[in-house]
Amino acid sequence: MEYASKGELYDYISERRRLSERETRHFFRQIVSAVHYCHKNGVVHRDLKLENILLDDNCNIKIADFGLSNLYQKDKFLQTFCGSPLYASPEIVNGRPYRGPEVDSWALGVLLYTLVYGTMPFDGFDHKNLIRQISSGEYREPTQPSDARGLI
């Protein structure tokens, strides 16, 4: 295991409140590339979140904590409710079977929103409200303009 001297991406963002789009692009490209590699090799992470993305000396990312990961096959469904609620996909929060990559893709969207806007897209204070927001795709409309808005 490599040492991630700069710690968690969560702490990095907490210190800065939000990142520039250039910095966001630097991190997000690496995160997407790493997740693509996992999916190409039949692995779904299922717990992608800022706390599980570590930074090395050069601020390159390392995805950590594969404890909830699983192998997946395109023709088989997974059913385990896992991951962190703020990053959970509609399939997860509604207890529906899922193939795998779509739950990581949802978490990538949450990560991108958080990197760009410096806040989570959903209100995590009330679990029932959180489930409703995720299920309906109802997220906080950001006040700052961003070129990433359409991608999110």
Looking up residue 35, the CATH number of its domain turns out to be 1.10.510.10
Range of 90's domain?
Answer: 7-136
Instruction: Write out pLDDT tens, residues 82-135.
Output: 889 999 999 999 999 998 999 999 999 999 999 988 889 988 778 899 999 999
Number of domains present in the structure of the chain? 1
The Cα–Cα gap between 98 and 143 comes to 33
Side chain identity at 152, as an amino acid letter? I
Residue 121 lies in a domain: yes
- Give the CA distances from residue 41 to residues 13, 72, 148, in Å, rounded to whole numbers and listed in that order: 30, 9, 28
How deeply is 134 buried, as exposed, middle or buried, from its count of CB atoms within 10 A (0-12, 13-18, 19+)? buried
Residue 129 lies in a domain: yes
Higher-pLDDT residue of 46, 142: 46
Q: What is the mean pLDDT of residues 50-66?
A: 95
The answer to whether 13 touches 140, Cβ cutoff 8 Å, is no
Confidence of residue 50 (pLDDT cuts 50, 70, 90): very high
Residue 40 lies in a domain: yes
Q: What is the DSSP string of 24-83?
A: HHHHHHHHHHHHHHHHHTTEE-S---GGGEEE-TTS-EEE---TT-EE--TTS-B----S
Q: What is the mean pLDDT of residues 133-151?
A: 74
Residue 152 has pLDDT above 70, yes or no: no
Residues 47, 56, 57, 123: which is the catalytic one? Answer: 47
Residue 114 lies in a domain: yes
pLDDT value of residue 80: 87
Residue 69 lies in a domain: yes
Confidence of residue 16 (pLDDT cuts 50, 70, 90): confident
The answer to whether 77 touches 97, Cβ cutoff 8 Å, is yes
- Let me know if 75 is a catalytic residue: no
Residue 47 lies in a domain: yes
Confidence of residue 150 (pLDDT cuts 50, 70, 90): low
Residue 44 lies in a domain: yes
